[in-house]
Amino acid sequence: MKIKNIILPVLLLTLVFFGCKQEPEGKKELDRKGRLYERMENHIKAVFEHYGDKIEWWDVCNEVVDHDVYTNGGARRDSKYTEIMEESGLTGMDRYEYVLKAFQWARKYADKYGEPGKVKLYLTDYGIERPFSGQTPGSKQSAFSDLVDWLIEKGAPIDGVGFQGHFRLYDHPVEQISEGIDLFAEKEGIMVQICELDFSIFGNDKGEGNLTVMPPENLPTRLADLANTYGVFFDMFQEKYTEGKLDLVTLWGLADGHSWLNNHPVAGRIDYPLLFDRDYEPKAAYDKVFGGARTFPIGAAVPGGNAYTSSFAEPPAQKDNNALSPESLQHDLLTHFDFYAAENEMKPENLLPASEGGAYRWVNADQLVDYAEANGKKLRGHVLIWHSQTPAWFFE
């Protein structure tokens, strides 16, 4: 046993480094995990080598817990990461080994290429802010909470968790979100962020799950309710910030016409989730967010030059989608926010080479970093490791 414990790490290092293809048949699953870990570490290293500590908060991993099935640790079933962990023989909570590794590499290279400890590392997901029920006993919130506890026990350098915050106007009571923030902020060393906030005006509880257009006679009331909801939530966020439980809030977009909630989750839907309308004018919700005594940072996800981001926008907004362009009607809206996050430009498929061994594609992400630096704004990075929007070769 002692001999194996000594030989195995050396063998794995050799296989990964030399790309050995002569391994025994029974070792293929382990080799696939080795290749994945090599790629993960190389990607994380490349990002921090390129940006150092210019980006002060990073989503290290996003959406790693399953939406419906929480047994056996609740690892996301449709994730290639979970598949590879299971192929290597890992079960239960140990299937999150790749998450632990990602945080370790992120801390290592963030500190190597920037001021040690300056970059804060977050684990983010949706549906964790309150205990939704799924197909098995428990909730996604409880499964995610167990994962955070497991990471803390393993010594992961995790600084906090992020609630995505894609809320529906009437379906997410502020009291439940407040309790969710309290739940995670009680954990050792954990801060909470709201990292993708928007409010759909369509409510499932009102039977509107399949509606595409809000009836015109209902729209004024919905927009008034939207403004009041933003006000109530941001009052609560201020309380949590004052209590040292929450450190920032990110709005997921700038203007309604460019929101990802158009055409989602129903094709043809027209939604109104953000602070600026389709004419790029501030809505009543804007006054509720910025009119109060807010002392915490409020940021926004910035649509950039990436083609996938443009697909969110409605015509004719698609041609005006890059908010970093001075000609864009969104451009002036950037001045209202304290920090920026890239809506899509820093996701793996937009930075990683198109094929393994190729050149990284920094151009669109660099535009945001350069703009933020030039205008004295901070940055939040989204995302280093994600099961989605990652090139297929990364998992081969």
d(CA 131, CA 33): 32
Q: Which residues of 252-291 are buried (b: 16+ CB within 10 A; e: fewer)?
A: bbbbbbbbbbbbeeeeebbbbbbbbbeebeebebbebbee
Active site includes 63? Answer: yes
Res 39 pLDDT > 60: yes
| Residue at token pair 């167990």 | 146
pLDDT at 42: 98
* Cβ-contact 95, 88 below 8 angstroms: no
d(CA 50, CA 44): 10
How does pLDDT run across 309-338, given as a tens digit for each residue?
666 777 766 667 899 999 999 999 999 999
Residue 379 Ramachandran class (φ > 0 left, ψ -120 to 50 alpha, else beta): beta
**What residues have CB less than 8 Å from 366, skipping those under 6 apart?**
none
User: Is there a cis peptide before residue 64, judged by omega within 30 degrees of 0?
Assistant: no
Q: Residues 31, 125, 208, 320: which is the catalytic one?
A: 125
Lowest-pLDDT range of 28-37, 66-75, 135-144: 28-37
How does pLDDT run across 352-380, given as a tens digit for each residue?
999 999 999 999 999 999 999 999 999 99
C-alpha dist (Å) from residue 100 to 22, 58, 66, 386: 29, 15, 17, 14
Backbone torsions φ then ψ of 10, nearest 5 degrees = -65, -40
Res 135 pLDDT > 90: no
How does pLDDT run across 94-107, given as a tens digit for each residue?
999 999 999 999 99
- In the structure, what pLDDT confidence band is assigned to residue 19 with cuts at 50, 70 and 90? very low
Q: Which residue in 200, 218, 222, 202 sits closest to 210, CA to CA?
A: 202
pLDDT at 316: 66
Res 16 pLDDT > 60: no
Lowest-pLDDT range of 39-53, 65-79, 236-250, 298-312: 298-312
pLDDT at 293: 87
**Coil, strand or helix at 156:** coil
How high is the mean pLDDT of the chain?
91
Q: Residues 159, 196, 256, 345: which is the catalytic one?
A: 196
Taking each helix axis from N to C terminus, what angle separates 2-18 and 28-51, rounded to the nearest 10 degrees? 60
- In the structure, what pLDDT confidence band is assigned to residue 8 with cuts at 50, 70 and 90? very low
Higher pLDDT, 137 or 213: 213
Q: Which residue type sits at 283? A: K
Q: Which residue in 179, 192, 177 sits closest to 230, CA to CA?
A: 177
pLDDT at 309: 65
Q: Residues 59, 63, 271, 345: which is the catalytic one?
A: 63
pLDDT at 36: 98
Q: How many CA atoms lie within 13 A of 325 on its CB side?
A: 13
pLDDT at 21: 42
d(CA 250, CA 189): 21
DSSP 349-365: HHHS-SSTTS----HHH
User: What percentage of the chain reaches a pLDDT higher than 70?
Assistant: 90
Q: Where are the alpha helices (DSSP H) in the chain?
A: 2-18, 28-51, 80-87, 97-113, 140-153, 174-185, 219-242, 284-290, 307-310, 348-351, 363-374
pLDDT at 11: 28
Q: Where are the domains of the chain?
A: 21-395
- In the structure, what pLDDT confidence band is assigned to residue 165 with cuts at 50, 70 and 90? very high
DSSP 177-209: HHHHHHHHHTSTT-EEEEEEEEEES--GGGT-T
Q: Which residue in 300, 395, 286, 285 sits closest to 343, CA to CA?
A: 300
**Coil, strand or helix at 271:** coil
Specify the CATH superfamily of domain 21-395: Glycosidases (3.20.20.80)
102: number of Cβ within 10 Å: 25
pLDDT at 319: 66
How does pLDDT run across 258-268, given as a tens digit for each residue?
999 998 999 99
How does pLDDT run across 73-92, given as a tens digit for each residue?
999 999 999 999 999 999 99
Question: Encoding tokens for residue 269?
Answer: 């839907």
Question: Encoding tokens for residue 39?
Answer: 């790629």
Q: Count H helices, E strands: the chain? A: 11, 9
Res 25 pLDDT > 60: no
d(CA 277, CA 281): 5
Q: Which residue type sits at 140? A: K
**Coil, strand or helix at 92:** helix
What is the arithmetic mean of pLDDT over 211-230?
Answer: 97
pLDDT at 202: 96
pLDDT at 22: 47
